[in-house]
Structure 1
């Protein structure tokens, strides 16, 4: 694959209106090949939250095995994608918004497979009421907590209260009490393994602690997932799928024999929060370019726009990062601004007004909330322009 340096992208983006977001299809395809190899024998459910572009979703699914089905972040999103012809949609986050549940029920009635996520009896009852009202049998999946508790430390996210076999079997029994519902699957997402970098340069001690915690967490959570699947089977609940993992945890999730499919999304674009994992190395495949507008001081250029922070705990790691030319950096006292962003440039780099300066986002799909379209680059040239969710007029949160 051609080395994508600054001149490569400057040439590719020549004549394009800036700011502009882009996806390098050659890098994307290389990342897909890596995910295939890492998944081994397991199918991969594509995570829409990390993509947010219908054309990219279609491209990945059309590439064939092992990519199969979508993991959505909103029932309204899943209903919309079903209306566009996508099938086998798993909504990864619980929702009780009546309008969205009715939209899903309408697509289920039309024959599309959409599975909603639950982790409480209250959610189950609300979904059952809508499904009964609309005359459908709504498939559900149970969200199993996959965090680990160590002395003085909760290693993972505060997600589901379903913390093991007993809670899962009790919730499955509640689902079975409603003729308008059907238990379809189980999801156990180990965020502390899949979404936490463990080989960050300059953080040797922290990396070592994180790797230690991961080594202690992995066997415990894999056994919890296996035991929960076994308990559900013993109680008479047949699951169509058991979903686990994410881009950063394929290797350890594959060790759990109860898992029937993996999930990945960030591994396509590879944002900065996925740069430093010991288990794999991805290629940056998505970014955005802003135009240099002025130079307020020696070694500093100012760009138009650029203030696109990522969600999560506030910190420097959530800021977009200057990428190309190499060696550029944000000014700590200003960061990335909504209408202008000052950037320090290294000695020997000369940028003139109108030149592009390339950034990478901290998270994958969130960048698409800032742009109506993605420029698709292949072979060093823009070959297409495709709509993001925002460009399609969709905002689900």
Structure 2
């Protein structure tokens, strides 16, 4: 879909989930128009290796975005609220992967994404459920506070490696 959109003229396409489409990566690495328009999501070193192995001779620079896991973890991680979209939680983990991208020829780190579905995607005014609504609002307030601090630290850590990030997506419309 991302390649189709780029071929149709879209100039700024973010593939929002890591992919294992080797053929798609080969096309991306072979066509300058596609490589300039599409940014791929990466959350593990093995993803970079897969993309490299899929190039099939293509030399175009691949645009990369890293994803921060935004789930709220309580009681030392025994309770997790929110989708586990990425294994990357800490500033150190994201900075390490950013360094790996920066060291690899053929890749350019351009973005950082953090989607907090447990805040943006969960309604907090349930009809006839005042206690549950209150519990959701309390969870969301706790998550917003924890994530705001952690996200700021992550952005600083990644920008120390890649100061020219083109974008930082820090949340869904439900949290702004």
For the criterion TM > 0.5, the same-fold answer is: yes
- Hey, what's the Cα distance between the residues in 1 that align with 2:57 and 2:148? 38
- Hey, what's the Cα distance between the residues in 1 that align with 2:57 and 2:171? 35
Q: Quick check: 1:121 aligned with 2:45?
A: yes
Aligned-partner SS, 1:110: helix
**Residues 91 and 150, structure 2, Cα contact 8 Å, conserved in 1:** yes
Q: Quick check: 1:85 aligned with 2:1?
A: no
**Residues 105 and 131, structure 1, Cα contact 8 Å, conserved in 2:** yes
- Hey, what's the Cα distance between the residues in 1 that align with 2:131 and 2:161? 45
**Residues 172 and 237, structure 1, Cα contact 8 Å, conserved in 2:** no
Partner of residue 202 from structure 1, selected from 106, 122, 128:
128
Q: Quick check: 1:228 aligned with 2:151?
A: no
**1:263-274 counterparts in 2 under 5 A?**
none
* 1:158-215 deviation line (CA, Å, top 9, x unaligned): 2201102100011011112211101010001111101111101011111100100111
**Residues 30 and 59, structure 2, Cα contact 8 Å, conserved in 1:** no
- Hey, what's the Cα distance between the residues in 1 that align with 2:163 and 2:95? 9
- Hey, what's the Cα distance between the residues in 2 that align with 1:131 and 1:175? 16
RMSD, aligned α-carbons: 1.6
**Residues 61 and 106, structure 2, Cα contact 8 Å, conserved in 1:** yes
Aligned-partner SS, 1:239: coil
**1:120-269 counterparts in 2 under 5 A?**
120-131=44-55, 133-151=57-75, 152-250=78-176
Q: Quick check: 1:110 aligned with 2:33?
A: yes
* 1:247-275 deviation line (CA, Å, top 9, x unaligned): 3222xxxxxxxxxxxxxxxxxxxxxxxxx
Alpha-carbon distance change, 229 to 132 in structure 1, aligned in 2, over 3 angstroms: farther
**Residues 128 and 181, structure 1, Cα contact 8 Å, conserved in 2:** no
- Hey, what's the Cα distance between the residues in 2 that align with 1:131 and 1:168? 24
- Hey, what's the Cα distance between the residues in 2 that align with 1:145 and 1:83? 31
Aligned-partner SS, 2:64: strand
Under a length normalisation based on structure 1, what TM-score does the superposition of the two structures give?
Answer: 0.42
Aligned-partner SS, 2:57: helix
Whose Rg is larger? 1
Alpha-carbon distance change, 131 to 140 in structure 1, aligned in 2, over 3 angstroms: farther
**Residues 111 and 167, structure 2, Cα contact 8 Å, conserved in 1:** yes
- Hey, what's the Cα distance between the residues in 1 that align with 2:103 and 2:54? 15
Gaps of 5+ in 1: 1-76, 251-397
- Hey, what's the Cα distance between the residues in 2 that align with 1:135 and 1:178? 13
- Hey, what's the Cα distance between the residues in 2 that align with 1:196 and 1:129? 39
Bigger proportion of residues as helix: 2
Partner of residue 97 from structure 1, selected from 6, 21, 27:
21
**Residues 132 and 180, structure 1, Cα contact 8 Å, conserved in 2:** no
Under a length normalisation based on structure 2, what TM-score does the superposition of the two structures give?
Answer: 0.91
Aligned-partner SS, 1:96: coil
Bigger proportion of residues as strand: 1
**1:378-397 counterparts in 2 under 5 A?**
none
**Residues 13 and 39, structure 2, Cα contact 8 Å, conserved in 1:** yes
- Hey, what's the Cα distance between the residues in 2 that align with 1:144 and 1:186? 7
